[in-house]
A and B are shown apart, each in its own frame.
Chain A
Amino acid sequence: MMNRFELLNLLQDTIQDELVVCNIGLPSQELYKINDRPNYFYMLGSMGLASSIGLGLSLAVDKNVISIDGDGSVLMNMNTLATIGNRAPSNYTLLIVDNGSYGSTGDQKTFTNERTSLKDVAIGAGCPNVIECSGEETNENLQKAIDDKNNSYVIISKIKSGNVPIKPIPLNAVTIRDRFRKEIGLVTYL
């Protein structure tokens, strides 16, 4: 099994100009270290809301939007799976990196390590296309979700826990906001 850093590395083969909203803490810091791009929105606070931010964005723009979230964060905001199940447009994909642990806070175990299946929760919440897969299978499923112009997807990528040594992202929030909005064509002064 691969860890999150290895998975985020692999995803760089699939993600091109899609708009990405990435989860708080180590996931964003790892993504920044691997391959910082202006079409990556690093969520620096508000744990749990990366899925919801991506949903709101996908309702406002035509481009493909990918929320990269974690199992611990989805467990914190599980009601949004019902909103996604009922309202997500076809340009929306939720990729849940499920390592069964709260990685950013010291790898404490989450309930997906015990009896909770986010796949079953997402299906029960009404999400129409839910795929659970290994880290190795994630790129092909993400590509399928990006290419499908008629359906939204929830992909749950099962990986192992573990982190790499990393530093906080040196960008301030408004810089992240403005360069991201420039990618959408809304900021011209940068």
Chain B
Amino acid sequence: MKISQKIITNLKSGGADFFLSVPCKLLANMITILENDKDIYYSAIPREEEGMGICAGAYLGNKLPCIMMQNTGIGNSVNSIVSLLQLYQMPVVFLISYRGTPGEPVGAQGGMASVTEDILNTLRIPMLHCNTEEDLDKISTFTNHAKVIESPVAVLCNFNLMKED
């Protein structure tokens, strides 16, 4: 719970005030925290691509949105990232549980893990890798950076970091 709390605190101090999630067991503690947070908007949603649309609308209405999802969700969302968020230059923070990184017990997660960073690089989306608890301190500045550069940014939290929580 300590790591999840630290991530949420940093996202909020960086300006994020509108949260969506497509569930992952590594995000479960963060979801519990958000469900009980009266200062921000939070909802679960069924699919990441839809979430990109909801985030776009929330940004138009002056929110700084954050969508929490597995890295698999990037695969579900490529067109919406390029032809909506990037086309209109909309800041959105992707808080990604990086499944398939070392420590992952499910072999099938390895495939998307092996292409996730290539996809984000191809899309020119800035990445912040969080492998240790100290890395989490950078999330606040990185969240604000999305607003400054009017672009989506991706925070990748690796498996071993999150499973200790």
Min CB distance A97 to B, Å, is 18
Min CB distance B145 to A, Å, is 19
Contact A53:B83 (CB < 8 A) given known A41-B60, A83-B46, A181-B60: no
A28 sits at the interface (CB 8 A): no
Contact A55:B88 (CB < 8 A) given known A79-B46, A87-B43: no
B93 sits at the interface (CB 8 A): no
Please measure, in the bound complex, the distance between the C-alpha atom of A54 and the C-alpha atom of B56, giving whole angstroms. Answer: 9
Contact A184:B53 (CB < 8 A) given known A43-B84, A46-B84, A177-B88: no
Asked if residues B56 and A49 are in contact (CB atoms below 8 Å), the reply is yes
Closest residue of B by beta carbon distance from A62: B61
B51-70 Cβ-contact flags toward A at 8 Å (1 or 0): 11111111111110100000
A44-63 Cβ-contact flags toward B at 8 Å (1 or 0): 11101111111111111100
Please measure, in the bound complex, the distance between the C-alpha atom of A173 and the C-alpha atom of B52, giving whole angstroms. Answer: 16
Chain A contact surface mostly: helix
Please measure, in the bound complex, the distance between the C-alpha atom of A184 and the C-alpha atom of B61, giving whole angstroms. Answer: 7
Please measure, in the bound complex, the distance between the C-alpha atom of A58 and the C-alpha atom of B60, giving whole angstroms. Answer: 10
Q: Which residues of B contact A45 (CB under 8 A)?
A: 79, 82-84, 87
Asked if residues B61 and A57 are in contact (CB atoms below 8 Å), the reply is yes
From residue 41 to 55 of chain B, which have CB atoms closer than 8 A to chain A? 41, 43, 45-47, 49-55
Which listed residue (B41, B82, B89) contacts A59, Cβ 8 A? B41
Total count of chain B residues near the partner, CB < 8 A: 31
Pick the most buried of B45, B60, B83: most chain A CB atoms within 10 A of its CB. B60
Please measure, in the bound complex, the distance between the C-alpha atom of A181 and the C-alpha atom of B60, giving whole angstroms. Answer: 6
Please measure, in the bound complex, the distance between the C-alpha atom of A61 and the C-alpha atom of B51, giving whole angstroms. Answer: 18
Please measure, in the bound complex, the distance between the C-alpha atom of A53 and the C-alpha atom of B53, giving whole angstroms. Answer: 5
Chain B contact surface mostly: helix
Please measure, in the bound complex, the distance between the C-alpha atom of A184 and the C-alpha atom of B59, giving whole angstroms. Answer: 12
Please measure, in the bound complex, the distance between the C-alpha atom of A49 and the C-alpha atom of B84, giving whole angstroms. Answer: 9
Min CB distance B23 to A, Å, is 14
Which listed residue (B43, B60, B61, B79) contacts A46, Cβ 8 A? B79
Contact A55:B54 (CB < 8 A) given known A46-B83, A79-B47, A87-B43: yes
Asked if residues B60 and A83 are in contact (CB atoms below 8 Å), the reply is no
B18 sits at the interface (CB 8 A): yes
A96-114 Cβ-contact flags toward B at 8 Å (1 or 0): 0000000000000000000
Asked if residues B88 and A56 are in contact (CB atoms below 8 Å), the reply is no
Min CB distance B18 to A, Å, is 7
Q: Which residues of A contact B43 (CB under 8 A)?
A: 83, 87
Min CB distance A26 to B, Å, is 17
Pick the most buried of A44, A53, A82, A176: most chain B CB atoms within 10 A of its CB. A53
Asked if residues A57 and B88 are in contact (CB atoms below 8 Å), the reply is no
B9 sits at the interface (CB 8 A): no
Q: Which residues of A contact B88 (CB under 8 A)?
A: 173-174, 176-177
A110-146 Cβ-contact flags toward B at 8 Å (1 or 0): 0000000000000000000000000000000000000
Please measure, in the bound complex, the distance between the C-alpha atom of A57 and the C-alpha atom of B49, giving whole angstroms. Answer: 16
Q: 7 A-B residue contacts at CB 8 Å? A: A44-B83, A45-B82, A57-B60, A60-B62, A77-B49, A80-B47, A177-B60
